[in-house]
């Protein structure tokens, strides 16, 4: 399948850090790239092009350090899960950067452990959101329990668009990202989701007809 566009777009920033869950963002980044978005990997604060290693053992040398990322330069910030979200404060600067993006009205998409990082930063207190399970976020002591939605992925379009999803929902996570950025819409978006989530072969015909296959 392929999709392309000649439209110049701002890049999508993909945060990468040691122990990041490499499988959680693959659907999103692959099809964003096919839609014409440059994917720029963002490493830890003060990053000096040091490679990071995913939980699956993949080594990635970030394109840019977190310190140098400005919300106005990007279309979206994606935060994958990682063991480090729950075992240290090392990734707190990424949650603070997410606040900058949301304050600037630039979307943020967080999945798995990254949702806990946003909870600790106070970014889920007043926004609809989801995660692995409600008590996982409750353990952070955050104040947004009443805004938790028990579903595959949630988009809150209040003061800055925030997408959240649990670790078992990378396809739904991608679906919401595509919806927010307008990569796919309506019947085509639904067909993309059905193809990759449900292995619905009939959905491929819809994508092909729309030139999205």
Catalytic residue positions? 112
Q: Which helix (H) or strand (E) holds 109?
A: strand 108-111
Whole-angstrom distance, CA of residue 180 vs CA of residue 173: 11
C-alpha distances (whole Å) from 109 to each of 43, 80, 175, 192 are: 16, 8, 11, 19
Chain centroid offset of residue 34 CA: 17
Question: Which residues make Cβ contacts (< 8 Å) with residue 194, sequence separation at least 6?
Answer: 200, 203
Helix axes 113-120, 92-103, angle to 10 degrees: 70
* Closest to 190 measured CA to CA, from 207, 177, 173: 207
């Amino acid at each position: 399948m392929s999709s392309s566009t000649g439209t110049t777009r701002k890049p999508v920033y993909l945060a990468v850090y040691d122990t990041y869950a490499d499988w959680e963002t693959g659907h999103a980044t692959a099809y964003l790239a096919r839609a014409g978005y440059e994917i720029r990997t963002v490493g830890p604060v003060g990053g000096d092009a040091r490679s990071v290693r995913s939980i699956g053992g993949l080594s990635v040398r970030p394109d840019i350090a977190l310190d140098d990322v400005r919300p106005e330069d990007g279309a979206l910030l994606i935060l994958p899960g990682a063991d480090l979200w729950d075992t240290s404060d090392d990734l707190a600067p990424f949650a603070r950067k997410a606040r900058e993006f949301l304050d600037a009205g630039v979307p943020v998409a967080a999945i798995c452990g990254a949702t806990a990082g946003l909870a600790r930063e106070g970014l889920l207190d007043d926004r609809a959101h989801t995660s692995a399970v409600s008590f996982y976020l409750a353990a952070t002591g955050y104040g947004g329990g009443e805004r938790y939605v028990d579903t595959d992925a949630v988009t809150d379009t209040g003061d800055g668009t925030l997408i959240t999803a649990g670790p078992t929902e990378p396809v739904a996570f991608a679906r919401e990202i595509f919806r927010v950025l307008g990569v796919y819409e309506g019947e085509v978006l639904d067909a993309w989701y059905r193809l990759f989530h449900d292995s619905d072969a009939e959905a491929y015909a819809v994508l092909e007809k729309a030139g999205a296959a």
